Structure 1
Amino acid sequence: MKLAAYTKEFSYNLRLAYPVMLGMLGHTLIGIVDNFMVGNLGSTELAAVSLGNSFIFIGLSLGIGFSTAITPLIAEADAEKDDATIRTTFHHGLLLCVILGIAVFFSIVLAKPLMNLMDQPEAVVAMATPYIDWVAFSLIPVIIFQGYKQFADGLSQTKPSMYAIYLANVVHVFFNYVLIYGVWGFPKLGILGAALGTVISRIMMLVFLHFILKMDPKINKYFQDFSFQEIRKSILKKIVSLGFPSAMQMLFEVTLFTAAIWLSGSLGKNSQAANQIALTMASTTFMFAMGLSVTSMIRVSNQKGLRDYKKLILVARSIFLLAIILEAFFGLFFVIFHNYLPHLFLNMTDASQAVDNQEIIRITAQLLLVAAVFQISDGIQVVVLGALRGLQDVKIPMYITFVAYWLIGFPVSFYLGRQTELGAVGIWIGLLAGLTASALFLYLRFTRLTKKLILENVQK
């Protein structure tokens, strides 16, 4: 097929993807603001936020991964113009997100003692403990928010969640500033202020999205007449059968990066701080690929509903190509500016932090060079995973991601990070190995599955 056939799809792909990208960046911006403001307090505080967020990321990955099951079901029903299925999927999915949010909150709070077994600096653990309690609570509104978001995404309405996230970011910046530094009569709470700012902003994010969607006359009809009497075990089971493997897929990847945080922490607070800065940068660019992943899931689900499998392949490959181009650009950006970007996250005017800062900058610059390489692998694996979710193929990809991240990526990270002089750089080379393996295996799975669908369609 000619290249023009794929590039022709770029315009629609980007129109659908850019609100998701900006919304994802809005989520990341909350973490970036925390890192900027907390980084000015010192490297110990920054390391504590990094350690605390490593627990939060695990819970968040479960919530986001599980909620993605809602989108393909809604998108397929939308293509079929089946309003009844859209409404019931939304209600059942939202109920499951509420239950999951509460369960994740309690699980993270109960898991806090694990920090004492991770060979982390005592001062870092002491600071991270109260931080985790509050930010873990913020996962309840975040996961419920994801239920709303994935529902709207399934209807190809990707802008409402973007608006809600940016309104929440305004709230977040204000409360972070006044509560971390204690200005305008507010108490000076340090990193606990960052945690409270996150809680307040995430509650408001959910409130904003609820009212934005409910005020839309085209969407409001799906909000009507919720009743527990309408809840059906068969529908819950269907969403869980898609949501659980999807949650595991994301969990396997996030826990690999979490293991990188813990391994970096065992090398010292400066390695952990450098890992956090590099991870923040890589996560920011990854949000663009995540936007394309959601687009891939929506458009593949639509074509599945229409049973147009040749168009499905064309659409999916156009998104894969777009992801490669975009992530290659970000990789080049990291290569060019790897020595300058770390300065943005550190207080360079504090003489007492000068020695630590120089080491953090040196390590971060090296990590960004590795991140420049794995941008492409990371982009490919997430957009192909989105296409597979659009096909409602989640079990085999779950096994693929486990093998790629934990049987390939983690052993390489552990060996190179702990047993060689590469240190934090070795840990990130392991991340690169896992992401590359995932991208390759998932693409082979997509190719095999779509060939099978076309063959079956021809035989009919």
Structure 2
Amino acid sequence: MNSYKKYTVQYPLLVKLGVPIIIGQLGTIVLGFSDTLMIGHHSIQELAAASFVTNMFTLALLFGLGFSYGLTPIIGKLHGQEQKFSIGKALKNGLASGCVLTIFLILLMGLLYLNLSNLGQPEELLPIMRPFFLVNLVSIPFVIGFNTFKQFFDGTSDVKTPMFVMIFGNIQNIIGNYILIYGKFGMPECGLLGAGISTMFARFMMCVILVLIFFTRKKFAEYHKGFFCGKVNMKDFKYQNKQGWPLALQMGMETAAFSLSSVMVGWIGTTALAAHQVMLTISQLGYMLYYGMAAAVAIRVSNYHGQKNYEEANNTANAGFQLISMMAVVVSVPILLLKNSIGLLFTDSQQVVQMVSLTIIPFVIYQFGDGMQSNFANALRGLSNVKPLMFVAFLSYFVITLPLGYLLGIYLKGGIIGIWSAFPFGLTIAGILYRVYFKRTLKREASLI
């Protein structure tokens, strides 16, 4: 097999897994996109308030998503060995770990809620932020539950089921937004709070549907045996936490580079905060596309890890990066061409639209680094070597991105453009280091055969 073909043969396998995951990931974007789009045309104050609260919860929820990702390589490896009973038992342990995480996140975000007035945000936004914050707080258990069951479906290569559930949830959320934000069909006009209620109910329904599918389908009978007969034991519980927490910290710190930047942008003013929310919504498009394909890389690598086929694991990771690089071009070109008008989708404010158009430049620059870090972080996840992820994330996002954003945006008075100009540095450094650790891990695992 020539050097190029060994990668291209992986393309259809990754696309088959990746496209449903991408559609499901886009469903996550549409939840936030529809909220931002509808709220932006309701009032700029609500858009700014949504920016801060949404980004604080994005940090918490992606922290939880990262934790649940620790379950995927465990299930993927067992799936490669066709151990259905053990998979059911692993899912049960994953849910037990998820319950502990849920309590932790609710307490953490509750503490943040009590200190909203101490974070330097515009005073006029606080009465709008508080009820929206509380509704998001209630939805945390449903998000964690959905993510945990989703890892079971993804790890067993059944990626279409959660995709369809996510599509249903988004349709429900958009309809709910229309009714509750604007007060249609006899309902009161709730504005931002209505968007929060609609999203919370959509998350609840998605969790319930995925749980019902798992427990009612006969084809999962063998997994049910492991789930009901297997016990939550300390050994498996500790192992899943050992896999989950580094991933949670990695995704949490990566998200913090963006979410905590919202605090700095809030110091600049309401208009900048509104533009920041628009940019975060746009940026999530690329991130979720890349991460969807990268999740397929993690599944394939974990399967090969179970079979001890490390040559194909390497080919899969490289093929995944090639596909993600192509996707980065497809995402970047139209956004760059439409940079002067894309903000109009979200708001009529010309000041916000102008800020968005300038911030598009650093956004396009960091797409390559974002794709690289997504791909090789997931390739490492597939090999169950997750400890390096949190150390690299700390260096890239807390030591480099956030201080550099403060320097360029606040100290040197570069504003929101300066803050966003720090992201290409952190993301690219993370991608390079993840690739180095992936190659080292492959070499080590291959030497043990």
CA contact (8 A) 2:76 2:303 kept: yes
Aligned to 1:391: 383
Aligned to 2:162: 161
Q: Which letter does structure 2 place at the counterpart of 1:391?
A: L
Aligned to 1:441: 433
Give the deviation of 1:185 after TM superposition: 1.1
Structure 1 residues 439 and 179: CA distance shift in structure 2, 3 A = same
Residue 450 in 1 paired to residue 442 in 2? yes
Alignment of 1:180-259 (within 5 A): 180-224=181-225, 226=227, 230-259=231-260
* Structure 2 stretches lacking a partner, 5+ long: none
Alignment of 1:222-371 (within 5 A): 222-224=223-225, 226=227, 230-346=231-347, 348=348, 357-371=349-363
Q: Which letter does structure 2 place at the counterpart of 1:239?
A: Q
Q: Which letter does structure 2 place at the counterpart of 1:109?
A: G
CA contact (8 A) 1:101 1:141 kept: no
Q: Which letter does structure 1 place at the counterpart of 2:388?
A: I
Give the deviation of 1:395 after TM superposition: 0.9
> Which piece of structure 1 moves more, 240-249 or 79-88?
79-88
Query: Which of 404, 409, 412 is residue 404 of structure 2 equivalent to?
Result: 412
> Which piece of structure 1 moves more, 188-197 or 113-122?
113-122
Give the deviation of 1:59 after TM superposition: 1.5
Give the deviation of 1:215 after TM superposition: 4.1
Give the deviation of 1:224 after TM superposition: 4.2
Structure 1 residues 9 and 226: CA distance shift in structure 2, 3 A = closer
Q: Which letter does structure 2 place at the counterpart of 1:141?
A: F
Deviations 1:283-329 (A, max 9, x none): 01211111112111101100000001111111111111111111122
Query: Which of 400, 407, 411 is residue 392 of structure 2 equivalent to?
Result: 400
Aligned to 1:31: 32
Give the deviation of 1:160 after TM superposition: 0.8
TM-score (norm 1): 0.94
Deviations 1:237-261 (A, max 9, x none): 0100000111000110111111211
Aligned to 1:11: 12
Q: Which letter does structure 1 place at the counterpart of 2:314?
A: I
Give the deviation of 1:118 after TM superposition: 2.1
Q: Determine the C-alpha separation between the residues in 2 that align with 1:277 and 1:411.
A: 23
TM-score (norm 2): 0.97
Structure 1 residues 414 and 228: CA distance shift in structure 2, 3 A = farther
CA contact (8 A) 1:62 1:248 kept: yes
Q: Determine the C-alpha separation between the residues in 2 that align with 1:455 and 1:99.
A: 37
Structure 1 residues 369 and 272: CA distance shift in structure 2, 3 A = same
Structure 1 residues 182 and 3: CA distance shift in structure 2, 3 A = same
Aligned to 1:353: none
Deviations 1:79-137 (A, max 9, x none): 11112211110111022223322431232122113332222101112211111111121
Q: Determine the C-alpha separation between the residues in 1 that align with 2:338 and 2:382.
A: 36
Give the deviation of 1:411 after TM superposition: 1.1
Aligned length: 448
Deviations 1:356-414 (A, max 9, x none): x1111111011112111111111110111001011111112210111011111111101
CA contact (8 A) 1:213 1:220 kept: no
Q: Determine the C-alpha separation between the residues in 2 that align with 1:125 and 1:266.
A: 14
Aligned to 1:425: 417
Q: Determine the C-alpha separation between the residues in 2 that align with 1:113 and 1:432.
A: 33
Structure 1 residues 226 and 296: CA distance shift in structure 2, 3 A = closer
Aligned to 1:354: none
Structure 1 residues 437 and 200: CA distance shift in structure 2, 3 A = same
CA contact (8 A) 1:293 1:382 kept: yes
Q: Determine the C-alpha separation between the residues in 1 that align with 2:189 and 2:129.
A: 17
Aligned-residue Cα RMSD (Å) equals 1.5
